[in-house]
Chains A and B, each alone.
Chain A
Amino acid sequence: MASDATSKTHHWHVADPSPWPIVGSVSALVMAVGGIIYMHTGFIWGFVLGVVLTMYTMVVWFKDVILEAETPGLHTPPVQVGLRISFLLFIVSEVMFFFAFFWAFFHSSLPILNLVAGAWPPEGIEVLHTWDIPFLNTLILLSSGATLTIAHHALIENDRDRFLNYTLITVILGFIFLGFQIFEYSVAAFSLQDGIYPSTFFLATGFHGFHVLIGAVFLTVCYFRGRNGHFKPDHHVGFEAAAWYWHFVDVVWLFLFINVYWWGSSPLGHLQP
C-alpha cells in the first residue's frame, strides 16, 4: 500500500477516521429519548443533555473541517466544487422541508383544497398587522441581504475591514429581526393551541426564525474566522455557504410575508365554495 500512497494522482480529500460521527449519533439518540421523556413527564434535562452533546459534536467536527480548509493541499479546487454542490443540495432539502409547512398553510387557507375548515382567517382569530412589525422585519431582513452582499464583494476585493464590518452588521440585523419576532410572538392575540391558524403560523414562522438563528450563528463564525485571517479572495467556501444560507432564509421570509402575513390575513370569505 505504501507505494500506492506515493503514486496517488487524485486530488480528492479522503478524511481520516474520526470519532465525531458516532459521538454525534449517540447525541442524537440522547436528544430523541430525552425529548420523548420531556414530552411525557416534563423532565427536561435529558433533552438538554442531548442538545448540548449535539452542539459539542458540531463544534469539534466543524473545527476539524475548518482546520482542513486552512491546510494547503486538502481543499483543492475540485474539493471546493464538491463542497459547494453539497451545500446547495442541503439548501434544496431545506426548501422541501418548508414546502411541507407552506402546504399546511395553503391546505387550510385555500378553500378549494380543504373540506374541513371554514373561513380564513378562522373566526375569532385576531391576526397581526401586516404593515407594522412584519413589514419592518421584511425591510430589516432585505437590508441584511444587501449588507451581506457588500461584505462578499469586499472579501473578493480583499478589503478585509469592510468585509468584517459588513458581516458584523448583517449579524446584528439578523438578531434585531429575531428580537422583533420574539416580541411579536409575545403580544400575539392567539396562542399555539388555538387551532389551525396558530398551528400553521407558529410552525412556519418559528422554523423560519430558527433558521435565521442558525444563519446568524454561521455568519458569526465566519466573522471570527475572518478576524483570524481565514478566507482568501479566491477561497472562502465557508463564507459563501453562509451567504447562500442567509439568502435562502431571506427568500423563505418573503414567501411567508406575502402569503401568511399579507394575503392570509385578509378575509377570504368571498372565496368560499
Chain B
Amino acid sequence: MSDAAAAHDHGHDDHHGAPAGWRRWVYSTNHKDIGTLYLVAAMVSVLIGGVFSFMIRLELQSPGLQYIEDLQFYNVLVTAHGFVMVFFFVMPALIGGFGNWFIPLMIGAPDMAFPRMNNISFWLLVVGLLLLMTSALVAGGAGTGWTVYPPLSNATFHSGAAVDFAILSLHVAGASSILGAINFITTIMNMRAPGMTYHRMPLFIWAMLVTALLLLLALPVLAGALTMLLTDRNFGTTFFEASGGGDPIFWQHLFWFFGHPEVYIMIVPAFGVISHVVSTFSRKPVFGYLGMAYAMAAIGFIGFIVWAHHMFTVGFNVETRAYFVLATMVIAVPTGVKIFSWLATMWGGSIEFRTPMLYAMGFIFLFVVGGVTGITLANAGVDIAFHDTYFVIAHFHYVLSIAAAFGILSGFFYWFPKMCGKMYNEGLGKIQFWLMFIGVNILFFPQHFSGMAGMPRRIPDYPEAYAGWNFVSSIGAYISFAASLLFFYIVIQTLRSGEKAPANPWGEGATTLEWQVPSPAPFHTHDQTPDMRPQPAE
C-alpha cells in the first residue's frame, strides 16, 4: 500500500460508490450528481418559463385583450418569464449542469475543489426559485420586468411584498452563483492534471473560467444594488429617490454594470460547448485555439466597460454616448474571431451532421443574426428609435433564448450519452432540431419588423397595424413549444429504451478526457490522475 493510500485511511471520505436513497441526492458531494440535479432544475425551470411565454404569445396573437384582464398580471408574466429563463434555466444548465459534469472530467480531477460548497450552490438555487415563484403569487406579483427599474419597483408603485421576494430571490441565487464561481475558478486553477497548462486546457474549460470570473466580479455589484433597493423600499433610504437627493438612473448604472457581463455569462459557456462540438464533428482540432481562448477573455473584459449601451435614452451627453458606442462596437472584433474560427474549423473537415452538430451550426447562424442586430442597436442614434421596442426583443432572443439555448441543446445531445450511458435516437434528434430551428425563426424574426415599425415591448395590447407579424410570431411560438415537448420525449425515451452508448460514440474527433472514461461515467472518475504531459516524439 502506498504512502498516499495509507495516509488516506485516516480520513473519512469513503470511495465505495454512491450512498443509497434520497441522501445520495440531497447530501451529495459528487460533481456528477450535482450536475444532474442542476440539469433537472433547469428542465423544470424551462417548463415553467415556457408556460409563461406561451401565455404571453397567446395574448399577443391578435390585437385587443384576449385572455388577460388584469394588466398587472401581464407584467408579472413578462417579469417571471425573464427571471426564470435567465437565472434558473440558462445559467443552471450551462454553468451548474455542464460545468459540474465536465470540468473535473476534462481536467482530470476526481471532483470539484469544494464538493460541499458545490451542493449548497445547488440548493440555494432551489431556494431562489421558490422565492421567485412566491414573488409572482403574492400581493399582485412583481411586474417590474427583469430589470427592476425604480420608480416602478419602489414602495409607491409596488407596495406589497412581491418585489421584496424577487429581490431576495436574486440575492439567494446570486450567492449561489458566487459560491459556484469560487469553486469553479479554484478547481480550474488548482486541479488540472499534470501537463495541462493554461494554454493546453480544452476550450470549454477556458469558457468556464472566463464565465466564473465574470460571475465573481459582476454578481456582488448586483447584490449591492439589490440591497439599496431593499433599504429604499423598507427602511427609508433614498438611493434611487429623486425627492431625497438620490437618482433612479443610478439603478440603471448598477443594474447594467452587472447586466451586460451577465449576458456574456450566459453565452460564453455556450461558446465553449460549440467549439468542442464543431471540432468533434469536423474531425479537426479547433482552428486558432489560442485566439479562441483569448477572444473569450477579451469579450469578458470588454463586457465590463460597455454597460451604458442599455441606457442611451436616459440623457447622457454626447461624449459619453460616443464612448459607449465605440466600446460596444469593439466587442464585435473578438466575436468575429470566434465566428470565423468556427467556420475555419469546419472548412475542409469531413463534417458529420449529427444532432449536436446541427445545433452548433444553428447556434452560429443565430448568433450572427443576433450579433448584427446588436451592433445595430449599439448606435446611440438608432437606438433612440429602437430602444424598448420589439427590435430589442428580437435581438436578445436571437443571441440568448435561441443561440444560448441552442448551445445548451447542442451540449446536451453531445454529452447525454456520456451522462446516462445511452444513445438518443438520431432520427428523432434531427427532426427535433429542424422543428425547433424553424419554430424559433418564425417566432423571433418577425419581431424585427414589428420593432422597426415601433411596437413597444411589455405591452399586452397593440394597434391593428402590428397584427400580421404578431400572429406569425405566435404560430412560431407554438411550433417551438411543440419542439420542446418533443425534446422531453426524446430524453424520456432515451432513458427508458436507448441503446447502450460506447465510451466514445463520436469517433476520432472527440479527443478530450471525458471520452476516455466509460459511458455512463462511473460515480468516481480520475481516481488516478491522468498524465497530460506531452509525450516525447518516438
Contact = CB atoms under 8 A, between A and B. Distances in A.
A complexed with B? yes
Interface of A: 1-2, 4-22, 24-26, 28-29, 32-33, 35-36, 39-40, 61, 68, 71-74, 78, 81-82, 85-86, 89-90, 92-101, 103-104, 107-108, 114-118, 122, 192-193, 195-200, 202-203
Nearest to B1: A6
B189 interface: yes
B2 to A, nearest CB: 8
Contacts of B175: 28
Given A15-B13, A18-B116, A104-B250, A92 B216 contact: yes
B149 to A, nearest CB: 15
Contact of A32 (B5, B15, B115, B131): B131
Given A12-B113, A15-B116, A100-B224, 6 more contacts: A1-B16, A1-B17, A9-B527, A100-B225, A104-B228, A203-B228
Contacts of B12: 16, 71
Interface of B: 1-2, 4-5, 7-8, 10-17, 19, 23-24, 26-29, 109-111, 113-117, 119-120, 122-124, 126-127, 130-131, 134, 160-161, 164-165, 168, 171-172, 175, 178, 181-183, 185-187, 189-191, 216-221, 223-225, 227-228, 231-239, 242, 244-247, 249-250, 253-254, 315, 522-524, 526-529
Given A1-B524, A21-B119, A40-B164, A32 B127 contact: yes
Nearest to B168: A32
Residue of B120, B131, B172 ringed by the most chain A CB atoms within 10 A: B120
Contacts of B165: 36
B244 A196 contact: yes
B134 to A, nearest CB: 8
B4 A93 contact: no
A17 B189 contact: no
Given A36-B168, A78-B190, A97 B245 contact: no
B317 to A, nearest CB: 10
Given A4-B524, A115-B247, A14 B29 contact: yes
A1 B523 CA distance: 9
A97 B222 CA distance: 8
B473 to A, nearest CB: 37
A82 B19 contact: no
> What are the 8 tightest A-B residue pairs by CB atom distance, in nearest-first order?
A100-B224, A73-B7, A25-B123, A196-B245, A21-B120, A193-B236, A96-B220, A199-B237
B164 A100 contact: no
A17 B13 CA distance: 9
A2 to B, nearest CB: 6
Nearest to A39: B234
A196 B236 CA distance: 10
B217 A92 contact: yes
A8 B27 contact: no
Which residue among B4, B5, B13 has the maximum number of chain A CB atoms within 10 Å of its CB?
Answer: B13
Contacts of A21: 27, 116-117, 119-120, 122-123
A4 B526 CA distance: 10
B249 A115 contact: yes
Contact of B239 (A14, A24, A61, A199): A199
A2 B523 CA distance: 12
Contacts of B113: 12, 82, 86
Contacts of B127: 25-26, 28-29, 32
B190 A35 contact: no
A99 B244 contact: no
Contacts of B28: 17
